[in-house]
Amino acid sequence: MLLGAWPALWFAGVGQMAYPADPARTGPAATVVSPFAEETVVGWGGDALEGNYHVVAPNERWAYDLLADPAGIGSSRLGDYGIYGMEVFAPAAGTIVEAEDGEADHAPGESESATLAGNHIYLRLDKTGTYLVFAHLMQGSLKVEAGMHVEVGRPLGRVGNSGSSSEPHLHLHHQRQNPAETNMFVSEGLPLYFEGESGAFMPVGGVTVRNGRDVPTGERLAPYTGTAEVP
């Protein structure tokens, strides 16, 4: 009975576990700079379930949700969130394979959406030939289109609240297959590191419930200053 009930319990969030993949043995990994010129906080990120709910899914095994203060405030107004409208920069050099920004941003807390990723950019990395996925961008904000090559620091668009998003944030993950051609549910997530003062690291996320609200309490990600080099 327990085995038969496990799939339903898993989807309900009971008995979930990290997809069994070791970042040290999974490759190629990618190391990038922050996609923002301001400090951000990791809502979800890292290798463990405790700090990153994405780890249960093979395609989002090392995904990040990035936010900025104020966040987790429970407001229904997009402009009250620090990350909303913040410019997103290319964190590594590559070629845009898909860029879409026609979906409307919805109010925080609304669950209905036409797509999961919402407005998005897919970037094929020069160094590895693998792909970065940028999701939940602002409608009409994209400054790139498919076929364009971008260098580190090139403005891409702005953070919105489109797709399956409870409040404004940037979802970022690294995967092997071209997301413009392969369904996300059969894609393989790959390790994604950020360049820090002491070298590449995987920042850990975290969320604390305060007054019934999910408040991000993960590590802080230093802004891109235009001087860091991507290894």
DSSP string, 149-199: EE-TT-EEEEB---SS-SSS-EEEEEESS-TTTS-GGG--EE-EEEEETTE
Q: The CATH number of the domain where 75 resides is what?
A: 2.70.70.10
* 12 located within any domain: no
Please give the angle made by the CA atoms of 95, 96 and 102, to the nearest 5 degrees: 170
CB 108 within 8 A of CB 102: no
Rounded-to-integer distance, Cα 221 and Cα 61, Å: 19
Least confident of 12-16, 44-48, 215-219: 12-16
**Total domains in the fold of the chain:** 1
Give 112-161 pLDDT, tens digit per residue. 777 999 999 999 999 999 999 999 999 999 999 999 999 999 999 999 99
- The CA distance from 158 to 160, in Å, is 6
Would residue 159 count as lying in a domain? Answer: yes
Report which of residues 111 and 54 the model is more confident about: 54
pLDDT per residue over 86-114, tens digit each? 999 999 999 999 999 999 999 998 867 77
Q: Which residues span the domain enclosing 152?
A: 31-221
- pTM here is 0.92
Pairwise CA distance, residues 201 & 164, whole Å = 27
Tokens, residue 203 = 């920042």
